[in-house]
Structure 1
Amino acid sequence: MARTYRVTIAQLNPTLGALAGNADKAHAAWLQGRAAGAGLVALPEMFITGYQTQDLVLKPAFVEDARAHIEALAARCADGPALAIGGPLYEAGRLYNAYYMLRDGAVAGIARKHHLPNYAVFDEERLYTSGPVSGPFGMDAVRLGTPVCEDSWYEDVAETMVESGAEILLVPNGSPYARNKLDRRMGHMVSRVIENGVPLIYLNMVGGQDDQVFDGGSFVLNPGGKLAMMLPVFDEAVAHVDFDETNHGWVAREGEKAVHPPVIEQEYRLMVEALRDYLHKAGFSKVVLGLSGGVDSALVATIATDAIGAENVRCVMLPSEYTSEHSLEDAEAVARKLGCRLDTVPIGPARAAVTESLAPIFNGMAPDVTEENIQSRLRGVMLMALSNKFGEMLLTTGNKSEVAVGYATIYGDMAGGYNPIKDLYKTRVFATCRWRNETHRDWMLGPKGAAMPDRVIDKPPSAELRADQKDEDSLPPYEVLDDILGMLIEGESSVADCVEAGFDRDTVKKIEQLIYISEYKRFQSAPGARLTSRAFWLDRRYPIVNRWRDNS
């Protein structure tokens, strides 16, 4: 009689540092696997600690605590299937990113990550030691190889494990979302399956951690690269994968094949999940933001409402003499459509007081950007006061186009704890607003129907810090600006490359200058949801002081 083997995979959301809570989640998944008759229950990479730990994992007490929780979890899971879970390992003076196999109440084996990623948001070479490639774990019916995350992007680890007898590959991951990354993951995993002729389980975690969101999308491939199962993106899920032994080795049975939504929906969901997890994991339940009547703050208010519900979102209009009636009406319309509270705090009296205080020193000097920035900084003061008084996290609302060229005021509209749209260029802001107005999903806590009036999306963007001000007075149209930024930032292109692509050289040089001189602002800016592989923070580490310019 042909043998079968069931693996329960747990695509779950850990909280970094919540060792007991993460262990409880793993135990709950193990109970589901035991009830389903699984031989193994598997959790993702570094699940016991949460991921990424960054330098926290260099603290010996933290690593010791993680190991104690793993051993206690082994004891809790003694009577039933094996449990595989990721965590740190300190051994013989070296620190490893490890994957533990727990059986019969004890640690039965450990695989150590061999290839350590050292690019983009990853910095593992300075944290961990590269481990030796381990052989497979011998389970009751099968021999299981476990290339840990980055190990599966190279040929050698999987090949060595299969040559050592592995019949199924289980790849535990902490792989954060980046645009079009799923295709790259799938391409590498198909290669491993075709090269080695064994089925493969790709198990990824879900949930937000600081700027990153782990998007799940776990899947199972059969020999030849055929998809047998695909779990949804962003949702927690526990699934059972059944393997049948054949004359040609083990084959996974067909299972759920979730259809992943288009990129615009995935990225809106990511911004919602990033904000929700950042708040909850940091201990906040409510937010406050300045609602200007413009498209950026309208989108942030909508994201916040979809993340935590309208009753937990405070919008504040902070008008000056330059604030148009349209902006007042539009801010009120957005708050009304979303169902959020809207407070109005005029900044005129405070601005008059500041202007009077500075008048003796500024005497004889013409007004300039200084006076404009005073308005923005007064708004930041008011919003931070509300944040402090009511315990609501202040959200900032600058899009990637503005953040890139410094069209945001440090200690003003940049003040706050999180920026959901930090990695979203302005042209994508417009597209995302139109998509959300036409779309509602069950995971959105906000209302169905249009959340933002068309006028908010269609009107010319303006900071309204002086009379008749428009963004395009000092910047090229956003369609042009975003294309140039995409080349200079995402593509690291030269000025000559941009000119060859058809852009005016003087315009490109102006944008390059603005990017470089704004680095100090970005260094001090709030974290925000990472959508691309060139997000501002860990993906792009440029010097603050930099006199080099591209004269190509």
Structure 2
Amino acid sequence: MYLNIGIGQINPKVGDLSGNFEKILKAWKELDKSSHLVCFPELALTGYPPEDLLLRRDFLSDCKKYLDNLLKKSKDLTSPCLIGIPLYKGDLYNAAFLLYKGEIVGAYYKRYLPQYGVFDEKRYFKKGDNLLFFAVNGFNIGVSICEDIWYPSGVERIYALAGADVIVSLNASPYHKGKYEFKENLLKARAEDNQCYVVYVNMVGGQDELILDGRSLVISPEGKIIARAKVFEEDLLVISIEKKKVCSGRLLEPRLREESSSEIPFVKGIGIKKELPFFEGKVFKNPEEEEEIYLALKLALKDYFYKNGFKGVILGLSGGIDSSLTAVLAVDALGKEKVKALFMPSEFTSRESFEDTRELAKNLGIPLIEIPITEIFHSYRETIKKTLGFEDFTVAEENLQARIRANLLFYLSNREGLLVLSTSNKSESATGYTTIYGDMAGGFAPLKDVYKTLVYRLARYRNSLDPVIPERIFKKAPSAELRPGQRDEDTLPPYEILDEILKLYLEEGLTPSEIIERGFEEKTVNRVFHMLKIAEYKRKQAPLGPKITRRALGKDYRMPVTNGYL
């Protein structure tokens, strides 16, 4: 006795109810051919997170209309469908609906609403207190939504004690480095503890700062992965699960007997009378860390570009590692025909930067426009001298060059409808080693959450596939080239030290004194924290960029600008 479960790992666009409806319907029809039950992610109709769209009554009304349309379409399909859609019913719920033959068989309202990190669900939703327990072809199935499954004594345990063979968890779970491994182990534990199958249905796609990685899973009662969908791609997955595995496990290890059984209202038993073949689950391979992060950034840029309807992108190439990696990433994500580069040398630009920039553009096959800024810069300085009387060369003159370059980039952006890519990285943004309205300016910052040391690792990974970035770019000392002989380490600690201090604070929550106890110089630690603090006003005006670490300098870093504490 087996049940075929179809997983629609889709990439919806937030707010595009019509487009998402068509995507869902197309996937449902395809999965219907081989499934007894079809499952879609949390908030599949709206995309995730819909944020303050959920405060618009017209939006919620339209969600209901598309739910009704799905009900009409379900009459022509043979398989029931689990899908996440918001529901306003006296209050707003993050809901999962079971649809079958024109009927809402039942609904589940998410119980645990996350309010930390990038999550803000208590702003929008009311906590649910109901359950959705049903059967398809003799398999007892319980439903939960995302955060619910992170609690070991949550609804999954209630379902298991009531005799669930399968727990289906609908998710829109954002990615960050290292999260998947933790999540996989957690889900294995839920399957083993409850002696049932866990079907983990995840969304995929880029949404502003967030990346959803897909990798939907089916885990056996023994805690083994028997199916894993693709990473950072849409996927339709079908797997057959067997009831005998649940029965045998509970007979051999009757642990659940020792706990009080739960009485849950049984919504409905659905019999699907169609002969279907048995499907072994596909288990797609997990990428190594550098490849995983690169694929995440690529998806984030691609989705931001296409979902917002841009025609092309433009970025400034400098001959440095950050702009080089950004250019390669843009070509990989969008194709070379969508990418244009601007090289804006000054009197401080080295010969090596000229050569390396031209070589990179040639290797990528992208147009390189060269606009020297020396005359523009001196024109500014002459005007400043005449009107303000300033002749000395200070950091203001350095930043002026960066702002001239930003003006030229945004001129072409404005004229040709191009998205400006900022090339700033996390190390620069954290310390303020970037010019506001200059090199940090842009419409999207692909490297916003990428430490400088990781920039080099990602560039090395990409060059291992095809060595498009000139080797000299890896070897020369990082420099903004805004004054003679300038090097980043004239202003910043070495990146190996800086990035480690930032990680210990941002991702592990250590205090300055605790970081010093780890062996870092007190003067250096205090200096980094001071730079981090005074740069907050810059970061509040920075472009969006994808989150790839546990704590990015975006939604999940909410420091006040006016702040009297170190």
Q: 1:244 Cα shift?
A: 2.2
For residue 315 of structure 2, give the secondary structure of its aligned residue in structure 1.
strand
Return the match for 1:515 from 532, 537, 548.
Answer: 532
* Runs of 4+ displaced beyond 6 Å: 250-253
2:482 corresponding residue in structure 1: 465
1:523-538 mapped onto 2 (5 Å cutoff): 523-538=540-555
1:333-372 mapped onto 2 (5 Å cutoff): 333-363=359-389, 366-372=392-398
Q: Which moved more, 1:343-352 or 1:409-418?
A: 343-352
Does the C-alpha gap of structure 1 residues 226 and 455 become closer, same or farther in structure 2, counting only changes over 3 Å?
same
For residue 249 of structure 1, give the secondary structure of its aligned residue in structure 2.
helix
Whether contact under 8 Å (1:287, 1:393) holds in the other structure is: yes
State the AA in 1 paired with 2:96.
Y
Q: Structure 1, residues 207-264: CA drift from partner, whole Å, max 9, x if none?
A: 1000111101111111121221112211211111212232743999742111101111
Whether contact under 8 Å (1:167, 1:250) holds in the other structure is: no
Does the C-alpha gap of structure 1 residues 337 and 248 become closer, same or farther in structure 2, counting only changes over 3 Å?
closer
Does the C-alpha gap of structure 1 residues 248 and 530 become closer, same or farther in structure 2, counting only changes over 3 Å?
closer
CA distance in 1, matches of 2:72, 2:132: 25
Whether contact under 8 Å (1:27, 1:77) holds in the other structure is: no
For residue 457 of structure 1, give the secondary structure of its aligned residue in structure 2.
helix
Whether contact under 8 Å (1:286, 1:393) holds in the other structure is: yes
Q: Structure 1, residues 68-126: CA drift from partner, whole Å, max 9, x if none?
A: 1111012112122111111101012x111111111111322111000001111001111
CA distance in 2, matches of 1:512, 1:400: 14
CA distance in 2, matches of 1:517, 1:471: 18
Whether contact under 8 Å (1:71, 1:106) holds in the other structure is: no
Return the match for 1:482 from 474, 499, 518.
Answer: 499
2:234 corresponding residue in structure 1: 236
Q: 1:139 Cα shift?
A: 3.0
1:544 corresponding residue in structure 2: 561
Whether contact under 8 Å (2:82, 2:96) holds in the other structure is: yes
CA distance in 2, matches of 1:546, 1:253: 58
Q: Which moved more, 1:263-272 or 1:128-137?
A: 128-137
Return the match for 1:113 from 110, 129, 144.
Answer: 110
1:126 corresponding residue in structure 2: 123
Return the match for 2:438 from 400, 412, 415.
Answer: 412
1:74-93 mapped onto 2 (5 Å cutoff): 74-79=71-76, 80-92=78-90
CA distance in 2, matches of 1:120, 1:496: 24
TM-score using structure 2 length: 0.92
Asked if 1:67 corresponds to 2:64, the answer is yes
1:274-353 mapped onto 2 (5 Å cutoff): 274-353=300-379
2:187 corresponding residue in structure 1: 189
Q: 1:351 Cα shift?
A: 1.6
1:136-155 mapped onto 2 (5 Å cutoff): 136-154=133-151, 155=153
1:505 corresponding residue in structure 2: 522
CA distance in 1, matches of 2:526, 2:387: 35
Does the C-alpha gap of structure 1 residues 213 and 248 become closer, same or farther in structure 2, counting only changes over 3 Å?
closer
Q: Which moved more, 1:467-476 or 1:486-495?
A: 486-495
CA distance in 2, matches of 1:78, 1:239: 23
CA distance in 2, matches of 1:197, 1:301: 49
2:217 corresponding residue in structure 1: 219
1:170 corresponding residue in structure 2: 168
Q: Which moved more, 1:224-233 or 1:389-398?
A: 224-233
Q: Which moved more, 1:283-292 or 1:189-198?
A: 189-198
Q: 1:320 Cα shift?
A: 1.0
CA distance in 1, matches of 2:443, 2:138: 51
Whether contact under 8 Å (1:488, 1:512) holds in the other structure is: no
Q: Structure 1, residues 456-489: CA drift from partner, whole Å, max 9, x if none?
A: 1111000011111111111121111111111222
1:246 corresponding residue in structure 2: 244
For residue 75 of structure 1, give the secondary structure of its aligned residue in structure 2.
helix
CA distance in 1, matches of 2:203, 2:311: 23
Whether contact under 8 Å (1:44, 1:203) holds in the other structure is: yes
Return the match for 1:15 from 13, 16, 21.
Answer: 13
CA distance in 2, matches of 1:427, 1:419: 17
Does the C-alpha gap of structure 1 residues 254 and 226 become closer, same or farther in structure 2, counting only changes over 3 Å?
farther
Does the C-alpha gap of structure 1 residues 364 and 255 become closer, same or farther in structure 2, counting only changes over 3 Å?
closer
Q: Which moved more, 1:309-318 or 1:484-493?
A: 484-493
Q: Which runs of 5+ in 1 are unaligned?
A: 440-448
Asked if 1:384 corresponds to 2:410, the answer is yes
For residue 66 of structure 1, give the secondary structure of its aligned residue in structure 2.
helix
Whether contact under 8 Å (2:165, 2:243) holds in the other structure is: no
CA distance in 1, matches of 2:396, 2:3: 69
Q: 1:195 Cα shift?
A: 2.1
Return the match for 1:395 from 414, 421, 425.
Answer: 421
For residue 76 of structure 1, give the secondary structure of its aligned residue in structure 2.
helix
Whether contact under 8 Å (1:320, 1:346) holds in the other structure is: yes
Asked if 1:44 corresponds to 2:44, the answer is no
1:443 corresponding residue in structure 2: none
Whether contact under 8 Å (1:117, 1:124) holds in the other structure is: yes
Q: Which moved more, 1:491-500 or 1:267-276?
A: 491-500
Q: Which runs of 5+ in 2 are unaligned?
A: 250-277
For residue 144 of structure 1, give the secondary structure of its aligned residue in structure 2.
strand
User: Over aligned residue pairs, what C-alpha RMSD do you find?
Assistant: 1.5
Whether contact under 8 Å (1:178, 1:531) holds in the other structure is: yes
Q: 1:55 Cα shift?
A: 1.5
Whether contact under 8 Å (1:135, 1:161) holds in the other structure is: no
Question: How many residue pairs were aligned?
Answer: 536
Q: 1:142 Cα shift?
A: 2.3
CA distance in 2, matches of 1:532, 1:247: 38
State the AA in 2 paired with 1:267.
I
For residue 412 of structure 1, give the secondary structure of its aligned residue in structure 2.
coil
State the AA in 1 paired with 2:531.
L
State the AA in 2 paired with 1:295.
I
Q: 1:169 Cα shift?
A: 0.5
2:258 corresponding residue in structure 1: none
Whether contact under 8 Å (2:106, 2:132) holds in the other structure is: no
Q: Which moved more, 1:239-248 or 1:312-321?
A: 239-248
For residue 331 of structure 2, give the secondary structure of its aligned residue in structure 1.
helix
TM-score using structure 1 length: 0.94
CA distance in 1, matches of 2:106, 2:351: 68
Whether contact under 8 Å (1:520, 1:544) holds in the other structure is: yes
